[in-house]
Structure 1
Amino acid sequence: MQMSEIVVATADIGTTDQNQTATADARLAAIVDSSFDAIISKDLNSIVTSWNLAAERMFGYSAEEAIGRSIVMLIPDHLKSEEIEIISRVRAGERVASYETTRKRKDGVLISVSLTVSPIKNANGEIVGASKIARDISAAKESERKIRLLMREVNHRVKNQFAVILSMVRETSKRSNDPHEFEELIRARIMALSRSHDLLVTSEWAGASLFDLIQEHLKPFGREEQILLSGPVLTLQSNAVQNLGMAFHELGTNSSKYGALGSEDGRVEVTWTIGSGTHDAGASGGREFELLWNETSTPRPDDRRDETTRKGFGTVVLQRVAPQSLGGSAVLERSAGHLRWQLAAPLASIIVPQPGAEPDDDAALGFGI
C-alpha cells in the first residue's frame, strides 16, 4: 500500500468518527429537549449552564433567563441550605437520587419536585458540575393528600356506622324478647342504613337528594300511589342522609304495619320547606329546615298508636336520635288512623353548602312516588 493511500484512509476514518460523534450529540440533544422532565446542568458554583424546554415549562424561566444565573433562584428561602448539601455530595462524587423537595417557579408558586442529581466529569475524569433531572410531582402529592384525607374520613364514617349499629342492637334488644323478631328487626334496620350508605357511595359522598332518600326508604313498602312528596330540591349532607334515612325507615315500617301503607285508603304526605326558623343555624343565617310527615288511614283494630307512652326504638329515633343529631327538635303525634311527625332543624345541618346558591322555596314541586 502506498503512503498516499494510508493518509487518505486515515482521513476517512477521522471524518467518520467526527460524523458519528456529531450524530450522537444531536440525538442526545433531541432527547434532552423532548424530555417531559426538566434537565438542567450547573457548575460547582451552582451556576446554570444548560436548561431544556421542560425546565422552561416547569419553572417559567426561558433558557436565556436561566443560563448564567444561580440555581438558588429556584429554591425557597427556608430550603436554601439544600443546595450546599447537594453540591457537597456532588463534589464527593455522590449521586443524589429521588430526592423529594419543594421548588419555586418564576411566578412565585411553590411546586413539589423529585430530583436526581449526578456529577458531571470532564475528559480527565474530574468533576466539573452536576446534571439535575427534576420531575413535577405536585399532582401526585395532591392525590396522596386527598387519599389520606379520604382514609381519615372513611375511618370516621366506619366508626360512626359501628356506633349506630351498636345502638340499634342495644335498643332493639331492650324491646324484643323473641330472638326471631329481634333478628328480623335488626336486619331490616341495618338494611335501611345500607340503603342510605348506597346513595352516598353513588354520589361519591357528595350528598344525596331528599327526594331520592325518601323514595329509596319507602319503595320496599310498595303503595307508591298513596305517597305524595312536596318540597324544594335539596342535596343533603351525609349526616342528614344517615339520620333522616333511619327516620323514614321507622316511619315507613310503622305505617306498613299499623297505618296508611298497610291499608287501601291510606295516604302519606311528606312536605318540607325552608323558613326563617328559631334554631341557631350558624352559617345559614338563621334559616331553618322544616319537614312534616302526615299520614291518615281508616283506624284498624290493632292500631295502638294512640298509646302515647309507647316507646319503641322507632319512637326513640323519631323523637330523640334524628332531631338531636341534626341540632333540631321533633314532635311526634299519634292517634287512631293518624300519625304526624314534624321535624325542625338548622338548614346548615341539613344541606350540602353551595356558595352563592340557595334553595328556592318558590321552586317547590310535588312528586308522587
Structure 2
Amino acid sequence: MEQGAELLFGYRAEEVVGRPITVLIPEDRQDEEPRILERLRRGERVDHFETVRQRKDGSPVEISLTISPVKDAQGEIVGASKIARDITDRKRAERLQQTLVHELNHRVKNTLATVQAIARQSFRSGLLDSRAREIFEARLQALSRAHDLLTRENWDGAGIAAVVAQVLAPYQRQRFEIGGPELRLTPRVALALTLALHELATNAAKYGALSAPMGRVAITWTVRPGDPPQLALRWQEHGGPPVSPPAQKGFGSRLIERSLALELAGEVHITYEPSGLVCDVSAPVPAAWENGVEAT
C-alpha cells in the first residue's frame, strides 16, 4: 500500500495485502464494489466516483475514485488501477456553502416580507405622495443599515449597543443617554429592534423630545436574573413638548408593540407620560443571545 493510501485509510501495507477491498467499504455501501467491477469487466473506466470509505479506526472518509482496467499484451483485463483522492475538505465546504445559501435565501425572504409589510402600511391611503415615499425610504434605509451591521459581523448576530448606535447615527449623539451591558442579539432580533428604534426616533424627531432644543432621550437596558434571564430595555423621552395618547395608533406604534414583542417573545408597552413617551421592553434572554453577560 502506498504511503498516501496509508495516510488516507490508516492501514499499513502488511495489514491489508491479501485482504478483500471490501474491508475499506462501509456496510451500507457494500453494493458499490460489484457495480464497479462489472464496469471494469466491460473495459470501462470509472471517473471521479464520489463515495465514502472507512478508515482503520472506523471513521468515514469522503473520497473520489478513478479506476481503470489494466490489460495485458493480448488486451485481456488482468487487473485494475485505482486512485483515491481525499475530498473531505471539499465536501465540507460544499455543505457549508449549501447551508449559507439556504440561510441567505431564508433571510432574504424574511426581509422581503418585512419590506412588503412596510410598503403596505406606508401607502395604505392609496396615495403615493412625497411624504409617504419619504417615510417608506427612511424605513428601508434603517433596514439597510441593520443589514450592513450584520454583514460586517458575518451575519453571526450583533451587539445591542452597536444596533442602538447604528439607528441613532443620523441624530446628534449628545441628545441621547445610552447605557447597558453588552448583549449579542441574533440577526432576526437585531433587525426587529432596528425597525422599532427607528420608529421611536422618527416619532421623537417629529412630535417628541427630539423636536425641542432641550429634549433628550434615555435608552437603557439591563439583564435581570432569572431562568432564563430577562432583558429590560427602556426608551424614555424628556424635555420635549407635552405628550398625550394619539387618537389612533399608526403603523409605527403597531410595529413596535406587536412585531417587536413577537420577535422577542416578550412584552412591549408604550405609555404617553406628560413628560415624554416611554417604551418598555421585557423579553427572555435565550442562550443564543448570551455572550458572557452577567445578570445585574
Q: TM-score, normalised by structure 2?
A: 0.93
Among 211, 216, 228, the residue aligned to 1:286 = 228
Q: Is 2:107 the partner of 1:157?
A: yes
Correspondence for 1:47: none
Judged with a 3 Å threshold, the aligned counterparts in structure 2 of structure 1 residues 113 and 344 are, in CA distance, closer, same or farther, namely same
* Residue 175 to residue 329, structure 1, CA distance change in 2 (3 Å): farther
Partner of 2:80, secondary structure, is strand
SS state at 1:196 partner: helix
Alignment size in residue pairs: 296
Quote the residue 2:31 is aligned against. Answer: 81
Deviations 1:211-251 (A, max 9, x none): 01000100112x21121221111111011111000011011
Q: Could you give the per-residue CA deviations for residues 58-81 of structure 1, whole angstroms, max 9, x where no partner exists?
A: 111122323222211110011112
How much does 1:145 deviate?
Answer: 1.4
- The structure that has the greater radius of gyration is 1
Please give the per-residue CA displacement for 1:135-186, whole angstroms capped at 9, x wherever unaligned: 1112211222122222221221111111111111111223685611100000
Question: Separation in 2 of the partners of 1:176 and 1:332?
Answer: 28
Q: In the alignment, which of 246, 249, 266 is matched to residue 198 of structure 2?
A: 249
| Contact map agreement 2:211 2:240 (CA 8 A) in 1 | no
Residue among 253, 256, 269 paired with 1:318: 256
Summarize the Cα distance change of 1:92–1:148 in structure 2 as closer, same or farther, 3 Å threshold. Answer: same
Is 1:95 matched up with 2:45? yes
Bigger shift: residues 129-138 or 306-315:
306-315
Q: Which residue of 2 aligns with 1:238?
A: 187
CA contact (8 A) 2:62 2:86 kept: yes
Q: Does 1:339 align with 2:277?
A: yes
1:309 maps onto 2:231 in alignment: no
Per-residue deviation at 1:336? 3.8
Does structure 1 residue 225 correspond to structure 2 residue 174? yes
Mark the CA change 1:88 to 1:176 in structure 2 (over 3 Å): closer, same or farther: closer
Q: TM-score, normalised by structure 1?
A: 0.75
Q: Which amino acid aligns with 1:111?
A: V
SS at match of 2:248: coil
In 1, Cα distance between equivalents of 2:7 and 2:42: 31
Whole-angstrom CA distance in 2 between matches of 1:352 and 1:263: 40
1:134, distance to aligned residue in structure 2 (A): 0.8
Counterpart for residue 143 of structure 2: 193
2:265 is the alignment partner of 1:361 = no
Letter paired with 2:237: E
Unaligned runs of 5+ in 1: 1-50, 278-284, 363-369
Contact 2:268 2:282 in 1 (8 A): yes
* Contact residue 176 and residue 182 of structure 1 kept, 8 A: no
1:74·1:104 contact (CA, 8 Å) conserved in 2?
yes
- In structure 2, distance between residues paired with 1:117 and 1:155: 39
User: Partner of 1:31 in structure 2?
Assistant: none
* 1:259, distance to aligned residue in structure 2 (A): 2.4
Give the equivalent residue in structure 2 for 1:169: 119
- Whether 1:352 and 2:288 are equivalent positions in the alignment is yes
Shift of 1:124: 4.1
- For the residue of structure 1 that corresponds to 2:169, the secondary structure is helix
Counterpart residue number, 2:18: 68
Tell me the alpha carbon deviations over residues 88-127 of structure 1, each in whole angstroms, 9 at most, x when there is no partner: 2222322111111111111111121110111122344332
Matches within 5 A, 1:198-209: 198-209=148-159
3-state secondary structure, aligned to 1:293: strand
Partner deviation per Cα, 1:191-214 (whole Å, 9 max, x = no partner): 111111111111111001100100
Q: Distance in 2 between matches of 1:233 and 1:352?
A: 14
- Evaluate the alpha carbon distance shift between residue 352 and residue 195 of structure 1 in structure 2; reply closer, same or farther with a 3 A threshold: farther
Q: Which runs of 5+ in 2 are unaligned?
A: none
- Aligned residues of 2:210 and 2:240 also touching (Cα < 8 A): no
CA distance in 2, matches of 1:191, 1:170: 17
Matched, 1:212 2:162: yes
**1:286 Cα deviation (Å)?**
2.9
Q: Percent identity?
A: 39
| Contact 2:230–2:284 (CA under 8 A) maintained in structure 1 | yes
